[in-house]
Amino acid sequence: MSILYLLIPLSLLLLSFAVWAFFWAVKSGQFDDLEGPAHRILFDEDDNDLTPEQRRRKRARRRERQGHEEDGPGEGRDREDAGDQNAPRR
């Protein structure tokens, strides 16, 4: 029975923390747009919406990323430096 003297204030403290956290979340805008992120994932950026210059940059970035993914760690320029004649040239 004496444990109630500890549990009741502890539960009130926990309740006050939960109420404070809820009001903080509302005030900071956590609940402003609940459906936007769910819909945004369905609409991918279309290449037709980009200008020709933006399309060129996007393709160049994609090629650059693919080139780096093909090379493992320490590869790439090292083939030419090592003088390996059988290594494929880019």
| pLDDT tens-digit series, residues 11-63 | 999 999 999 999 999 999 888 888 887 777 777 666 667 788 888 998 899 89
Write down the pLDDT at residue 86.
58
User: What's this model's pTM, rounded to 2 decimal places?
Assistant: 0.41
Write down the pLDDT at residue 74.
53
Write down the pLDDT at residue 46.
66
Question: Distance between CA atoms of 30 and 44, rounded to whole angstroms?
Answer: 24
How many other CB atoms are there within 10 angstroms of residue 71's CB atom? Answer: 13
Is the pLDDT confidence value at 73 over 90? no
Higher pLDDT, 87 or 58: 58
N- to C-terminal Cα separation, the chain: 80
- CA dist list (Å): 1 to 6, 7, 8, 12: 10, 10, 11, 18
Average pLDDT for residues 84-89, to the nearest whole number?
56
Write down the pLDDT at residue 16.
99
According to DSSP, residue 32 is labeled: S
Question: Distance between CA atoms of 76 and 70, rounded to whole angstroms?
Answer: 9
